[in-house]
Amino acid sequence: MAVRALLTETGYQRCTIDAVAARAGVGKAAVYRRWRSKAEVVFAAVIHPVELEPPSDTGSLRGDVAAVLEVIQSSLDGAELRQALPSLLADVRADPALEARFGEVFLGRERGYLVQMLDRAVARGELSRRPDPALVHAILLGPVLTWLHLFTETPPSGGLAASLASPLHAAVVALDA
């Protein structure tokens, strides 16, 4: 994809809509029809696609948490994202309209999937009520984001998502107490 290649070659600051359009062989207007800003283009290209696939129903909350962690890890891992994330987050936070759109378009969709996961757990009797999806989102996203983008250690030998699944499942269940 044009955005990923440009991020690797030039970094986030020098990756422009003009350059993305030229690399993709389309006009700038074609890019702006789908995304409103460079930050949105980069987010969609490197964090997750516009149509994020819902995590699978594994039949248990612990399994669902593990599946969600795999999706989170795969969407947050990669050289392009390591280059782009600090500036991307700064751009999003600096623009209230853009921040609201990110919340609606990207985080809202992810939270919708978490609501489905939590509602299945309630239906199976694993939880007595649905915990706050925003809190669950933070519980699951935070450790993966921290490990991949702040820590320099190699992820645990069994895999990051697999290593986090049990403790983060316990944290989600603890919200039901």
Residue 92 confidence (pLDDT): 86
Over residues 143-160, the mean pLDDT reads 89
pLDDT at 51: 59
Fold of 49-174: Tetracycline Repressor; domain 2 (1.10.357)
For the stretch 42-76, pLDDT in tens is 888 877 655 567 778 999 999 999 999 998 888 78
Distance between CA 76 and CA 38 in Å, rounded?
Answer: 18
Q: Of 9-13, 18-22, 77-81, which has the strongest mean pLDDT?
A: 18-22
pLDDT of residue 74: 82
Tens-place pLDDT, residues 109-131 = 889 999 999 999 999 999 999 99
